[in-house]
Structure formats: structure tokens, C-alpha cells
């Protein structure tokens, strides 16, 4: 049975990457969530997907003269002033962009686990070191978290290699769908290869599973971003190990055995 991983929290039902989305995933019974980490002007790590703020906050209204509203151009205190929920719905007005520290604390309170994506690492030199520092300070680099509750992934090959260099124990995922002949190269530095669902085939998943990953375990596949039952059933039949979804309830109904 594949893991059901709530993409940016239960993001079909609550504003993405907020604590409200994390809490909703927990209330729905889902232990794993995925998030995205960027870095502010003053070096704080915040949980937001885009490298700009206008899509998921009211940055344009609060700071009208700061276009293009790049995360890296704002301090953490400025971002903390923004409403990250009103765009999604009135009931979420006042939700905030959480810092990574706040996010980890909420996951810990909820007993949840984390698939952490390093977003746009090329924009933030040294962000791997910063992320590991915050994880360590939050108690997320102990044996239990590393073994059972934490995966770090990125589209950036160099970024996940740098995480491994600094903390060799962490489970790592590469985002993408490399051609089958190239898979052994990726197995040398990743534990998971996590592709978009539209790029998958049963043969590709089998080819991944036939390889041994970075830490001596069979290479795994978590696919994204599944939102409907038909796609969930299709990728489940392909044999994926995880399904990253905005609608964890819909996917859970498909992949979890009845009763």
C-alpha cells in the first residue's frame, strides 16, 4: 500500500503550505505532508512554494511598491505580516506563511512526518546548510526522525548531493523522470526518484525498483500531483511507493484497503 502524502498539506481544502493545511491533513488521518522551503532576505527559512509572494499572499496590497515580490527580497518580519489564507477563502483569512521552525513544531505536535522540498536551490546558495541547521535545532535529525519521518527532495541534483555530504544519513529524493538507461546514475545519490504522474509507466516504476538506492535499499517512487481517483488507481497499479496529492481523502479511499 503506497504512502499517501498530503501535497503542501491538504491543499485542495486549505491554503497550501500553511499550518491550517497541515492540521487538516492530520484531522483527515494522514501522517505525511509535503512542503516547500525558500529563504528570506534576512536568512529565515519559510514554507512557501513560489519564489514570489503574490499568488498565495496579499503582498501586492500590503507592499504595492515591491514588485515582483520575491521571497528573497523580503525579511521574515515583513512576510509575517502577510495574509496567506484569504486568497483561498474567507474562513482562512489571517493564515500566515509559516517559518520552517514553526512548521516543524506543528508537525511534531501532530505526530506527522515530512517530505521537505528544497525549492529553487540555485536562488539560495547554502540553503542546504540552513535547512539542516533548523532540522537539527528542531530535533528532526535524531535516529527516529531520520529513519522514519523525514525525506528531503529537490529538482536540484547538486542540492541533494550537498545535503548528503553534510548529513549522510538523510533519505533523499530526486524530482523528475530520468530515462531508464540513466536510472543507475541517479540511484548512486538518491533513495527515491519522484516523478510527475503524467510521465509514469509500470515499466519505468519496475526499472526503478530493480535498482538499489543510496542507502542500500531498493529505490522507491513517490509520484505527484495526483488529485483524482482514476489517476490514483492507475499509479497504484503501477506499484508506486507513495502518492503525493492535494486530495489525500480521495486518494486514501482508493489505495487503503476497506475496513
Known catalytic residues are 7, 49
CB within 8 Å of 76: residues ≥ 6 apart: 40, 42, 44, 46, 99
User: Which position has the grid cell 490514483?
Assistant: 232
Find, among 131, 125, 123, 130, the residue nearest to 35 by Cα.
Answer: 131
CB within 8 Å of 108: residues ≥ 6 apart: 138, 139
CB within 8 Å of 134: residues ≥ 6 apart: 45, 100, 101, 104
Number of H helices, E strands in the chain: 11, 9
Sign of torsion, CA 121 147 33 248? positive
Sign of torsion, CA 133 139 143 149? negative
- The three grid cell numbers given for residue 168, joined into one nine-digit string: 549522510
Helix (H, G, I), strand (E, B) or coil at 79: helix
Amino acid at each position: 500500500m503506497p504512502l499517501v502524502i498530503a501535497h503542501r498539506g491538504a491543499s485542495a481544502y486549505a491554503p497550501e503550505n500553511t499550518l491550517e493545511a497541515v492540521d487538516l491533513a492530520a484531522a483527515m488521518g494522514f501522517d505525511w505532508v509535503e512542503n516547500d522551503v525558500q529563504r528570506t532576505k534576512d536568512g529565515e527559512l519559510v514554507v512557501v512554494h513560489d519564489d514570489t509572494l503574490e499568488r498565495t499572499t496579499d503582498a501586492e496590497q500590503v507592499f504595492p511598491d515591491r514588485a515582483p515580490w520575491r521571497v528573497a527580497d523580503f525579511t521574515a518580519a515583513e512576510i509575517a505580516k502577510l495574509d496567506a489564507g484569504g486568497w483561498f477563502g474567507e474562513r482562512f483569512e489571517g493564515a500566515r506563511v509559516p517559518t520552517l521552525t514553526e512548521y516543524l513544531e506543528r508537525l511534531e505536535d501532530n505526530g506527522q512526518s515530512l517530505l521537505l522540498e528544497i525549492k529553487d536551490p540555485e536562488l539560495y546558495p547554502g540553503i542546504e546548510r540552513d535547512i539542516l541547521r533548523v532540522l537539527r535545532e528542531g530535533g528532526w535529525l535524531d535516529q527516529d526522525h531520520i529513519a522514519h519521518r523525514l525525506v528531503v527532495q529537490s529538482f536540484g541534483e547538486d542540492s541533494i548531493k550537498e545535503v548528503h555530504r553534510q548529513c549522510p544519513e538523510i533519505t533523499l529524493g530526486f524530482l523528475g523522470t530520468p530515462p531508464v538507461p540513466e536510472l543507475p546514475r541517479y540511484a548512486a545519490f538518491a533513495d527515491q526518484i519522484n516523478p510527475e504522474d503524467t510521465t509514469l509507466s509500470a515499466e519505468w516504476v519496475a526499472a526503478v525498483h530493480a535498482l538499489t538506492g543510496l542507502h542500500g535499499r531498493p529505490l522507491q517512487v513517490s509520484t505527484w500531483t495526483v488529485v483524482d481517483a482514476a489517476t490514483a488507481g492507475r499509479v497504484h497499479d503501477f506499484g508506486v511507493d507513495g502518492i503525493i496529492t492535494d486530495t489525500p481523502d480521495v486518494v486514501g479511499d482508493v489505495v487503503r484497503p476497506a475496513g
